[in-house]
Amino acid sequence: MRDEQHLAALRIYWKAHQAFPAMAKLCEVVGLSSSSSVFALVGRLVDAGYLERVEGRIAPTKRFFARPLLGAVRAGVPQPATDEALELVTIDDYLVDDPNRSILCRVRGESMRDAGLLDGDIAVVERNAPASPGDVVVAVVDGDLTVKYLRRSQDRYFLQAANPDFADIHPKGSLEILGVVIGSFRRMRR
């Protein structure tokens, strides 16, 4: 259990500094009194897959950034809590299929609210993905950037909002699809 507390301290430090301190300072960060205790802790965290040794220093692994997935939680009638083991998941594992083609964009406005994309949400976009009518896409239409549903009428593509207060966008000149929205996330409170 103490290793979980030490791991939590390391995660907090990493969040603030995007790096780990030298081994001597690690004693202070994790609250241990001797460097031999820190070396033993690091060894256990390496064995558990949270850290790795790289060129004489420690570095976080993918597991270091993973968070416990509680499982399914009903939004309706409460359900009994279970003691089943929690799966560890990273946001990248869940939302990013190809890190070299994935970009993020912040949604502005209310035109896609009925698709679940609200003002301030971060959309995960897969660039150069084949887009089909019905996909939510990030597009450049006549030089302006937007996020909308891709639609097709006869032989022409157009963009449609997910809010009836907004008109369809029919390109006057060009329509370029930058990528397909494959997911999104939002912060509920600060």
| Active site members | 111, 148
The per-residue b/e assignment along 3-35, b for 16 or more CB within 10 angstroms, e otherwise, is eeebbebbeebbeeeeebeeeeebbebbebeee
Three-state DSSP state, 96: coil
How far, rounded to the nearest angstrom, does the alpha carbon of residue 173 sit from its chain's CA centroid?
Answer: 34
Distance CA 64, CA 2 (A): 16
Closest CA to 101 of 126, 131, 138: 126
Distance CA 74, CA 57 (A): 43
Angle at 181 between CA 179 and CA 184, to 5 degrees: 145
